[in-house]
Amino acid sequence: MKVLRLHASHDLRLYDEPVPVAGPGEALVQVKAVGICGSDLHWFGEASIGDAQLDRPLVLGHEFAGVIADGLRRGERVAIDPAIPCGTCEYCKRGDPNLCPNIRFAGHGSVDGALREFLVWPEEGLHPLPESISDAEGALLEPLGVALHAVDLGKLQVGTSVGVFGAGPIGLLILQLALLSGAAPVIVTEKLSHRLEAARRLGAAHVIQAGTGTEIQEVMAATGGQGIDVAFEAAGENDAVEAAVSTVRPGGRVILAGIPPDDRTSFPASMARRKGLTLKLVRRMKFTYPRAIRLVESGQVDVNTLVTCRFSLEEYQEAFAAAWRREGLKCIFEPSLSG
């Protein structure tokens, strides 16, 4: 089978390797679709993410869907939860498996991800996909799950004013979920014009160009000078964090979903303190796949519109180059198209 491994920064290599064999409680899955995530780009560009460093040739990819290739569930289409928590620690037992200190995660550390034609995975992490959801949409249930967790942390109510700082795939999914919750207005800021246009199409009340020096003033003007109730930072840049903190009203909430390239987040501490802000950081997701599947199946959330480019594994150089340049919105690998 074809397998794509990262050896160092910007050093991807394609291999032929044996098809793995499933053990007890596992299933062999033929991978059908894999999304390139911003965290994959951190690995690709920096050979690290946060405090985790590349120490072996790693298979990236944690947004994925496929078809079970053996056993009693053979032929079943599934979306795959990339997280494997231990299930026995206090965090798992209290219902916070995303905080498990022993968690294993696809495409991270010692666990190879989905940029290959086949993998084995615990059966409990394989979620059946309705026929109405495509393979690519199934892969995007993972970022939708992250967005759901972020919105849960934001505790949105009908009429809550929301700012989304960064309109990549996660930001655009947060936008859709905020609108579903009845939030109004929802304001989106972003540097890239094609992403701003996507936010406009998806229903943002105001779209504001970031990086112009007037972003904070424009957000405040859009709220009549009152500021926003909840800010979601999804850009992974300190400028976006500062804009979020600066435009949230006193007593508001700031939800940090972005991953900064230098593993440092900063904001005006005196301002945040005077406002008495609540800051929360998004650690992946928990128990969101069933909800995400229902939202996509019912048409309440559109993930398909985020898919703007598709590649086979052999086209990995073009795929990562396009994603690195932030072309489009979401690049999808389709390993089954490999020759």
> Contact, 310 vs 136, CB < 8 A?
yes
Angle at CA of residue 127, ends 121 and 131, nearest 5°: 125
Regarding whether 123 and 105 lie in a shared domain, the answer is: yes
Q: What mean pLDDT do residues 233-244 have? A: 96
What's the pLDDT score for residue 339? 58
Regarding whether 274 and 233 lie in a shared domain, the answer is: yes
Regarding whether 252 and 235 lie in a shared domain, the answer is: yes
Is residue 287 situated within a structural domain? Answer: no
What does residue 214 show for φ and ψ, rounded to 5 degrees?
Answer: -120, 5
Is residue 289 situated within a structural domain? Answer: no
206-209 and 186-190 strand pairing: parallel
Beta-strand ranges (E) seen in the chain are: 2-8, 11-16, 26-35, 48-49, 52-53, 63-68, 77-80, 83-84, 104-105, 118-122, 126-128, 162-165, 186-190, 206-209, 228-233, 248-256, 278-281, 307-311, 330-333
**Residue 280 DSSP code:** E
Q: pLDDT class for 337, splitting at 50, 70, 90? A: confident
Is residue 288 situated within a structural domain? Answer: no
Prediction pTM value: 0.96
Q: What is the CATH number of the domain that holds 321?
A: 3.90.180.10
Is residue 42 situated within a structural domain? Answer: yes
What's the pLDDT score for residue 261? 87
> Contact, 147 vs 284, CB < 8 A?
no
Q: What is the CATH number of the domain that holds 207?
A: 3.40.50.720
C-alpha distances (whole Å) from 314 to each of 28, 64, 88, 120, 227 are: 22, 18, 40, 22, 48
Is residue 266 situated within a structural domain? Answer: yes
Regarding whether 159 and 120 lie in a shared domain, the answer is: no
Regarding whether 181 and 97 lie in a shared domain, the answer is: no
Is residue 317 situated within a structural domain? Answer: yes
Total count of domains within the chain: 2
CA dihedral of 169, 172, 174, 178, whole degrees rounded to 10:
-170
Regarding whether 202 and 313 lie in a shared domain, the answer is: no
Q: What mean pLDDT do residues 286-298 have? A: 96
Is the model's pLDDT at 193 over the cut of 80? Answer: yes
What's the pLDDT score for residue 336? 77
How much is the mean pLDDT over the chain? 96
The token pair that represents 278 in the structure block: 């609540």
Is the model's pLDDT at 263 over the cut of 80? Answer: yes
What's the pLDDT score for residue 28? 98
> Contact, 206 vs 199, CB < 8 A?
no
Please report the sign of the dihedral spanned by the C-alpha atoms of residue 29, residue 35, residue 39, residue 43: positive
Q: What mean pLDDT do residues 321-336 have? A: 94
Is residue 294 situated within a structural domain? Answer: no
> For residue 176, which amino acid is it?
Q
Regarding whether 331 and 266 lie in a shared domain, the answer is: no
Regarding whether 160 and 101 lie in a shared domain, the answer is: no
Q: What mean pLDDT do residues 160-179 have? A: 98
Q: What mean pLDDT do residues 34-52 have? A: 93
d(CA 242, CA 274): 15
Start-end of H helices in 165-248: 169-180, 193-201, 215-222, 238-247
Is residue 297 situated within a structural domain? Answer: no
Bridge partners of 65, per DSSP, are 33, 79
**Chain centre to alpha carbon of residue 316:** 20
Percent of the chain beyond pLDDT 90?
97
Q: What mean pLDDT do residues 49-55 have? A: 91
Regarding whether 246 and 168 lie in a shared domain, the answer is: yes
Q: What mean pLDDT do residues 96-118 have? A: 96
pLDDT tens per residue across span 3-21: 999 999 999 999 999 999 9
Q: pLDDT class for 338, splitting at 50, 70, 90? A: low
C-alpha distances (whole Å) from 240 to each of 29, 60, 75, 150, 191 are: 39, 27, 44, 16, 10
Regarding whether 249 and 155 lie in a shared domain, the answer is: yes
Please report the sign of the dihedral spanned by the C-alpha atoms of residue 223, residue 226, residue 232, residue 233: positive
Regarding whether 250 and 192 lie in a shared domain, the answer is: yes
Q: pLDDT class for 58, splitting at 50, 70, 90? A: very high
> Contact, 62 vs 113, CB < 8 A?
yes
**Chain centre to alpha carbon of residue 61:** 11
Residue-number span of the structural domain to which 181 is assigned: 146-281
Q: pLDDT class for 296, splitting at 50, 70, 90? A: very high
Regarding whether 163 and 90 lie in a shared domain, the answer is: no
Q: What mean pLDDT do residues 232-245 have? A: 97
Exposure string of 82-96, with b = 16+ CB inside 10 Å and e = fewer, is bbbbeeebebbeeee
Q: What mean pLDDT do residues 260-284 have? A: 94
Give the containing element (helix H, strand E) for 293.
helix 289-297
What's the pLDDT score for residue 142? 98
